[in-house]
Structures are given as C-alpha cells and as structure tokens.
Amino acid sequence: MTGRSARGNNLDTVRQHNLSAVLGLVHRTGPLSRSQLTRETGLNRSTIAALVGELVELGLVLESEPGANNRVGRPSPVVGAHPGVVALAINPEIDAVTVGVVGLDGVVQHRVRYAAEIPTALEAVAISKAVIDGLRPQLKASSRVIGVGVAVPGLVREADGVVRLAPHLAWLDEPFAQQLHEAIGLPVSAANDANLGANAERIFGAGREVTDLVYLNGGASGIGAGVIVGGTPLAGFSGYAGEFGHTLVNSAGVRCHCGAIGCLETEVNQRSLLKVLGLDSADADELDRALAAAGAAGGSAGGAGSASGAVAAEIERQLGFLAVAVRNATNVFNPQLIVLGGFLGALITAAPGRLQELVSGTALKASGESLRIARAELGSRLLMVGAAELAFAPLLADPASGDVRVGGTVH
Ligand SMILES: [Zn+2]
C-alpha cells in the first residue's frame, strides 16, 4: 500500500463501509430497490448506483426486474444477494452430521443429514468430506463457495476453531476447524451452535429488530444458549459465554455430566419428553406433530385429565424448571425477547402462555415487564443459516477484499 495517500485510504475505508452496508442489507432483508437502498442507508442515489454496480461486478448481487411476487407498484429493478455465492454449513451432533449449502440470499439450497452414532471428530471430518464430494456436481455448476461454518454442540475457541469440550460427542481439545480445512481445502470457522442460532434468529428470525435477546435451544444432546446484548453477541473472554444449560434450576436434582447438581439440561431434556410420548427420536417438526397427536397442543390444563395426562404433566414439570432459567436470564440481562428453539419451542407451543405466566410470577417486575417469549422461527434451517453466517462474515465485512475466497470453486 506504499504510495497511497491518507486521503485514498480514507476513501477506501468509506467505500468498504458502504459496500458492506449495501450487501449486508440485501443479505438480511432480501431484494430491495435502489430507492429503498437509498432510504435505508442514507446514501445518495448516485452513490448507491455506483455501489450496486461494483457489487454486480464482484458477482455478489443480482439486479433484476421485480417479479409477480415483489411489491406492487415498484417498477424499478430490485437488488438481491447472489444465490450462487454460497457457504457450506456443518453441524456434527450425537446422532448425525448435517451438511448444508446456504446461499448469500439466506436460502438453504441443499441439506444432507448423514446418520452417525456419536461420531468422533475424525469421523465427522470424513463424513463432511464425503457429503461435500457428493454435492460437488451441483456446486460446480452454479456456485462459488466462500467457506465453511461449523455449528458445534460444545465449547469452541473461536479464534482457531478448536473444540475445547463437546461433552455429548466426547470431543476434548479437537482442532476440528483445522482438520476439516486440511480435508476439504476451504476456509473453515467454527463456533458454539447456540451462539450461532441466537445470531441467526436475530438476523433472520424471531429476533429481527431486537437488540437484546436470550436464545435457548433444546437439542438431543442438551440445552445451549446464546445472549445478545445491545445488538452484539455475548462471547465472553474466549467464546464460552451463555452456558445456561449448566445453571442451577433444582438443588434437589440429579448430577449432571459437568459434575454439578440440578443443571437446567438434566431437568429439562428431550429424552424425557420423547419417553412419555413413546418415541425414540424426533426432530422439532416431528415432536410438534407427536405433541399435537397426544392432545397436548390445546394447553397443559386442558390435557391434564385426559389420556395425554402423562404428557401434560411432563410438559408442566419441564416448563417449571425452564421458567427458573428464564427468570434468571430475565433478571440478569433484562432482555426484550426470549427465543426458544428445538424441543423447547415445541414445549411452549404445547402449552401456550404457560411459560410467560410462570416467569411473570417470579421475575423482577421491572426486568420482566417488557419481556416477550417467542418460538424460534428458522426451524430446521436454523443451524445451517447460523453456521453459514459465520462463513459469510468476512465477505460481508469487506465485500471487495482480495482475501475473501470469492470464486474459490470446489474442484
Ligand atoms: Zn451441568
């Protein structure tokens, strides 16, 4: 960069900031007209025209005539994130490794769930590589792969993607991001699944326009959480913040694998819910159907005396302990919104209003009076979108950067 004037560098900084603002907007909100972009960014029309032109040239956005599904009465072309720019998303879990292809427009284009019983880190790498190899024909035809994001059910050192501890996978200090990078030759970033889920819900789901939220996700291997404070994900010193699954909700409870007694995830768990429903396994959608079929969908009180009494009692028991954790989160973080994902979302759908009632009765009035509790909206897309966001982050921050592997097609 020698020979560049300070003025030139400042202009570059402004340009980078503006490119990032426009690309980020269409990425988060979907296609927008130039006049909408002008309004949203506060930039003038000619600046927007130049920025859109540059993003088109970089192959990051598409400008097209609005179709029948776009807003009526807007004849100007709309600018949308290019769906051919994709990230790979990977989520190793205790029963499967899921690999997805997610477009810069937020659409999950492919999702492959490869069943595997508690995969080791090396097995998860091998499965990911095999699935990605299987997807190469589709990727080669139309896509430019930016990189890989991994959502890990455990503590991840975000700086280098080392999984410090994924207790249910029995992974300890696994350099997973590095191993995966060596296997597939793309940049890889990894982070805690719930932190990624919280961020995805804030950008694309129930938390849009919300600055302060606590996200709790119930998965097969436990409860993860992510906290967003003032619009910023709370990472903690090394990326381990937000472990609500291991906060105390029952001092007379059972011992958790972490060594403590009465953790949230030992009292509130999918296994007990499945057991009372007579199921071995279920994803969130299947769980909803099972709860509805058990007659629990009309509310816990209504189901208490029926054949689904055992299901209703289990829902009430789990909601009681969940309410303790939500009360603590409310008193500590004063969030606008609590977002519940996975089987926790199924729990609140099965007993509408009950969790809010339990929390309102116990949280500090001032902390809880503006609190809303909502179900996560992204469903089975959540961790794919969340992990992809991790991979897209460098591109979104600096769309014109040569460091970003745009055009790095999979060979
Ligand atoms: Zn614990």
- For residue 154, the SS3 value is coil
pLDDT tens readout for residues 192-210 = 999 999 999 999 999 998 9
**Ligand 1 centre distance from Cα of residue 388 (Å):** 29
Q: What average pLDDT does range 266-279 have in this prediction?
A: 94
**Ligand 1 centre distance from Cα of residue 216 (Å):** 15
pLDDT tens readout for residues 327-346 = 999 999 999 999 999 899 99
**Ligand 1 centre distance from Cα of residue 410 (Å):** 41
My answer on whether 322 and 392 are in the same domain is no
Strand runs labelled E in 47-170: 61-64, 78-81, 85-92, 96-103, 108-115, 144-152, 155-157, 162-166
**Ligand 1 centre distance from Cα of residue 205 (Å):** 28
My answer on whether 347 and 275 are in the same domain is yes
**Ligand 1 centre distance from Cα of residue 149 (Å):** 26
pLDDT range class, residue 67, cuts 50, 70, 90: low
- Full 3-state SS string of 248-277: ECCCCCCECCCCCECEHHHHCCHHHHHHHH
Residue 375 has pLDDT above 90, yes or no: yes
> Which secondary structure element, helix H or strand E, spans residue 375, and what is its range?
strand 372-375
Sheet holding 32-33, edge to edge: 32-33, 78-81, 61-64
**What tokens appear for 220 in the block?**
């097969």
Residue 396 has pLDDT above 60, yes or no: yes
**Ligand 1 centre distance from Cα of residue 255 (Å):** 8
**Ligand 1 centre distance from Cα of residue 326 (Å):** 16
**Ligand 1 centre distance from Cα of residue 224 (Å):** 11
User: Are 322 and 269 in contact, with CB atoms under 8 Å apart?
Assistant: no
User: Are 274 and 280 in contact, with CB atoms under 8 Å apart?
Assistant: yes
**Ligand 1 centre distance from Cα of residue 248 (Å):** 8
My answer on whether 160 and 267 are in the same domain is no
Domain membership of residue 386 (yes or no) is yes
pLDDT (0 to 100) of residue 222: 87
My answer on whether 391 and 370 are in the same domain is no
Strand pairing category for 61-64 and 78-81 = antiparallel
Q: What average pLDDT does range 234-262 have in this prediction?
A: 92
What is the domain count for the chain? 3
pLDDT (0 to 100) of residue 369: 87
pLDDT (0 to 100) of residue 283: 74
**Ligand 1 centre distance from Cα of residue 323 (Å):** 17
**Ligand 1 centre distance from Cα of residue 239 (Å):** 18
**What tokens appear for 367 in the block?**
């902390």
Domain membership of residue 117 (yes or no) is yes
Residue 86 has pLDDT above 60, yes or no: yes
**Ligand 1 centre distance from Cα of residue 7 (Å):** 54
My answer on whether 46 and 100 are in the same domain is no
- For residue 227, the SS3 value is strand
**Ligand 1 centre distance from Cα of residue 257 (Å):** 6
My answer on whether 68 and 153 are in the same domain is no
User: Are 186 and 133 in contact, with CB atoms under 8 Å apart?
Assistant: no
My answer on whether 235 and 346 are in the same domain is yes
Domain membership of residue 52 (yes or no) is yes
**What tokens appear for 350 in the block?**
């099965």
Q: What DSSP character marks residue 124?
A: H
**Ligand 1 centre distance from Cα of residue 249 (Å):** 10
- The b/e string for 137-164 (b: 16+ C-beta within 10 A; e otherwise) is eebeeebbbbbbbbbbbbbbbbeebbbb
Residue 191 has pLDDT above 50, yes or no: yes
Could you tell me the residue range of the domain that residue 153 belongs to? 85-196+382-397
pLDDT range class, residue 292, cuts 50, 70, 90: confident
My answer on whether 288 and 141 are in the same domain is no
**Ligand 1 centre distance from Cα of residue 383 (Å):** 23
My answer on whether 357 and 210 are in the same domain is yes
My answer on whether 281 and 368 are in the same domain is yes
Measure the CA–CA gap between 398 and 188, rounded to whole angstroms.
18
My answer on whether 261 and 227 are in the same domain is yes
My answer on whether 222 and 360 are in the same domain is yes
308 contacts: CB under 8 Å, gap ≥ 6:
294, 295, 296
| Inter-helix orientation angle 309-333/343-350, to 10° | 110
Bridge partners, residue 233, by sequence: 228
**Ligand 1 centre distance from Cα of residue 408 (Å):** 42
Domain membership of residue 229 (yes or no) is yes
Q: What average pLDDT does range 54-63 have in this prediction?
A: 95
User: Are 117 and 104 in contact, with CB atoms under 8 Å apart?
Assistant: no
Measure the CA–CA gap between 229 and 48, rounded to whole angstroms.
31
**Ligand 1 centre distance from Cα of residue 84 (Å):** 42
**Ligand 1 centre distance from Cα of residue 256 (Å):** 5
pLDDT (0 to 100) of residue 221: 78
**Ligand 1 centre distance from Cα of residue 324 (Å):** 15
Q: What average pLDDT does range 132-148 have in this prediction?
A: 90
**Ligand 1 centre distance from Cα of residue 235 (Å):** 19
**Ligand 1 centre distance from Cα of residue 247 (Å):** 7
Residues, Cβ < 5 Å to ion ligand 1: 246, 256, 258, 260, 263
Q: What average pLDDT does range 134-153 have in this prediction?
A: 90
Q: What average pLDDT does range 306-313 have in this prediction?
A: 78
Among residues 276, 268, 275, 274, the alpha carbon closest in space to that of 218 is found at 268
pLDDT tens readout for residues 217-228 = 988 778 999 999
**Ligand 1 centre distance from Cα of residue 214 (Å):** 19
Measure the CA–CA gap between 271 and 391, rounded to whole angstroms.
32
Residue 406 has pLDDT above 60, yes or no: no
**Ligand 1 centre distance from Cα of residue 245 (Å):** 7
Bridge partners, residue 23, by sequence: none
Measure the CA–CA gap between 411 and 409, rounded to whole angstroms.
6
CATH number where 35 lies: 1.10.10.10
pLDDT (0 to 100) of residue 284: 73
